């Protein structure tokens, strides 16, 4: 590795959190190396679609595109993509980090390491009763986002037709004792309702049913947005989480079994597509990295805050569920902490 990569700060993870932390440290005059294991920067949020309806619905996806452009124009920040950390030696602000890139192993020195390793969407097949991976017309919200972003339309996977009647099942992989994830993922109520509004705007004939336990607000104008959703005649709100999704092997149409609290009975409602609003879990690759750096996990299974003073920092969604806006705020405050730490040495 060349000397120009031996910067005082090494940021591991080039999602929105790592990118913003790098840009902020650069603005503070601190040289940074940013390491990303994938071929390009951006992380999970670089694949989200715009969820505007009549107006912008503040999903923050385009902010990620903007920051990606900003960092791509910033030649002063070393950006190593397709690279992974294989070893860490040293302590207390004097680290030697081994790196593998394109089959070659090299070494970097750093005074501070920021971990921004991010999250994975919950693997929806873990909730077998909803049939993801088995029933064709059960998709995740992430699948739906990618349909909209990369194909510009939504369709039923079984026949390519526009679904007329879609159910959104909330809290898939979160707030769920049966899988051991008791935390709220913070983002899925907001992203699902924004997706619904964007879909209703594009296809006014499509109706959506939002099946939920509680609605987690997100952002300053969320209540106005929620009121607009409630006034929309094409969106039904039902406070009930389904117990099972059934399908007809002939038509691939779906029935969703749920307890209707208003009618006081268990019903089966027909739909032609079901969207699972998956939550977030710590990124798989973050665990071996945590082991290399001696980091623990908190009660929710995300990265615990490291002991202060040894030059290791954790930022973004890998420290606990966050949307893009809160990940950006966290990354900026982490950059300020790193700056103070370097100045205080």
Ligand X SMILES: Cc1cc2nc3c(=O)[nH]c(=O)nc-3n(C[C@H](O)[C@H](O)[C@H](O)COP(=O)(O)OP(=O)(O)OC[C@H]3O[C@@H](n4cnc5c(N)ncnc54)[C@H](O)[C@@H]3O)c2cc1C
**Distance between CA atoms of residues 163 and 154, nearest Å:** 8
CB of 111 to ligand X, least distance (A): 19
Burial status of residue 134 (CB atoms within 10 A of its CB: 0-12, 13-18, 19 or more): exposed
Give SS3 for 287: helix
Nearer to ligand SF4, 60 or 313 (CB): 60
Using DSSP bridges, classify how beta strands 9-12 and 112-115 pair: parallel, antiparallel or unpaired.
Answer: parallel
CB of 54 to ligand SF4, least distance (A): 11
Helix (H) or strand (E) holding 87: strand 83-91
117 near ligand X (CB under 6 A): yes
Give strand pairing partners of 101.
83, 104
Nearer to ligand SF4, 62 or 267 (CB): 62
CB of 337 to ligand SF4, least distance (A): 28
Do residues 210 and 196 make contact, with C-beta atoms less than 8 angstroms apart?
A: yes
**Distance between CA atoms of residues 293 and 270, nearest Å:** 50
Q: Which listed option, ligand SF4, ligand X, none, makes contact with residue 5 (CB within 5 to 8 Å by class)?
A: none
Do residues 110 and 12 make contact, with C-beta atoms less than 8 angstroms apart?
A: no
Out of 28, 52, 65, 84, the only residue in the binding site for ligand X (CB under 6 A) is 84
Binding-site size for ligand X (CB under 6 A) equals 42
Q: Which listed option, ligand X, ligand SF4, none, makes contact with residue 121 (CB within 5 to 8 Å by class)?
A: ligand X
Q: Which parts of this chain interact with ligand SF4 (CB under 6 A)?
A: 50-52, 56-62, 170-171, 174-175, 184-189, 214, 216, 277, 279
Burial 6-18, CB ≥16 within 10 A → b, else e: ebbbbbbbbbbbb
CB of 91 to ligand SF4, least distance (A): 37
CB of 87 to ligand X, least distance (A): 12
Give SS3 for 108: strand
Question: What is the 8-class DSSP label of residue 337?
Answer: H
Binding segment toward ligand X, per CB under 6 A, in 32-40, 197-205, 224-232, 299-307:
32-40
Distance separating the N- and C-terminal Cα atoms of the chain:
26
9 near ligand X (CB under 6 A): no
Nearer to ligand SF4, 112 or 189 (CB): 189
Nearer to ligand X, 101 or 257 (CB): 101
**In the range 214-273, which residues lie near ligand X by CB under 6 A?**
none
Out of 254, 316, 338, 341, the only residue in the binding site for ligand X (CB under 6 A) is 316
**Could you give the strand order of the β-sheet that contains 9-12, starting from the edge strand earlier in sequence?**
78-81, 32-36, 9-12, 112-115, 312-314
Question: What is the 8-class DSSP label of residue 149?
Answer: I
- Cα dihedral: 62, 65, 70, 73 (round 10): -150
CA distances 78 to 7, 16, 68, 72, Å, are: 9, 16, 14, 10
18 near ligand X (CB under 6 A): yes
323 near ligand X (CB under 6 A): yes
CB of 235 to ligand SF4, least distance (A): 15
**Distance between CA atoms of residues 267 and 201, nearest Å:** 29
Binding segment toward ligand X, per CB under 6 A, in 10-18, 24-32, 94-102, 226-234:
10-18
**In the range 166-205, which residues lie near ligand X by CB under 6 A?**
187, 191
Out of 67, 156, 175, 322, the only residue in the binding site for ligand X (CB under 6 A) is 322
Nearer to ligand X, 217 or 270 (CB): 217
Do residues 233 and 227 make contact, with C-beta atoms less than 8 angstroms apart?
A: no
Nearer to ligand SF4, 101 or 149 (CB): 149
Q: Which listed option, ligand X, ligand SF4, none, makes contact with residue 62 (CB within 5 to 8 Å by class)?
A: ligand SF4
């Amino acid at each position: 590795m060349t000397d120009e990569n031996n910067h005082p700060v090494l940021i591991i993870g080039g999602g929105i959190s790592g990118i913003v932390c790098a840009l902020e440290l650069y603005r503070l005059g601190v040289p940074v190396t940013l390491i990303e294991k994938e071929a390009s920067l951006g992380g999970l949020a670089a694949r989200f679609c715009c969820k505007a309806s009549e107006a912008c619905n503040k999903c923050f996806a385009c902010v990620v595109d903007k920051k990606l452009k900003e960092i791509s124009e910033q030649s002063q920040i070393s950006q190593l993509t397709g690279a992974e950390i294989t070893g860490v030696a040293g302590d207390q602000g004097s680290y030697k980090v081994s790196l593998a890139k394109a089959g070659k192993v090299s070494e970097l020195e750093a005074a501070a390491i920021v971990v921004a390793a991010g999250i994975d969407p919950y693997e929806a097949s873990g909730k077998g009763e909803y049939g993801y991976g088995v029933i064709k017309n059960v998709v995740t919200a992430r699948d739906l986002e990618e349909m909209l972003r990369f194909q510009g339309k939504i369709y039923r996977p079984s026949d390519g037709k526009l679904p007329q009647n879609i159910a959104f099942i909330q809290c898939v992989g979160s707030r769920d004792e049966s899988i051991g994830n008791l935390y709220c993922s913070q983002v899925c109520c907001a992203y699902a309702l924004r997706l619904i509004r964007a879909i209703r705007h594009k296809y006014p004939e499509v109706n959506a049913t939002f099946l939920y336990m509680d609605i987690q607000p997100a952002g300053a104008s969320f209540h106005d947005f929620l009121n607009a959703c409630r006034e929309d005649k094409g969106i039904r709100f039902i406070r009930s989480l389904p117990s099972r999704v059934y399908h007809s092997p002939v038509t691939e149409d779906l029935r969703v079994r749920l307890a209707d609290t208003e009618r006081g009975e268990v019903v089966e409602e027909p739909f032609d597509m079901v969207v699972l609003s998956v939550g977030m879990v710590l990124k798989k690759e973050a665990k071996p990295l945590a082991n290399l750096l001696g980091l623990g996990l908190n009660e929710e299974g995300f990265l615990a805050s490291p002991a202060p003073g040894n030059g290791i920092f954790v930022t973004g969604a890998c420290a606990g569920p966050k949307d893009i806006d809160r990940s950006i705020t966290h990354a900026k405050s982490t950059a300020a902490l790193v700056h103070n730490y370097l100045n205080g040495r």
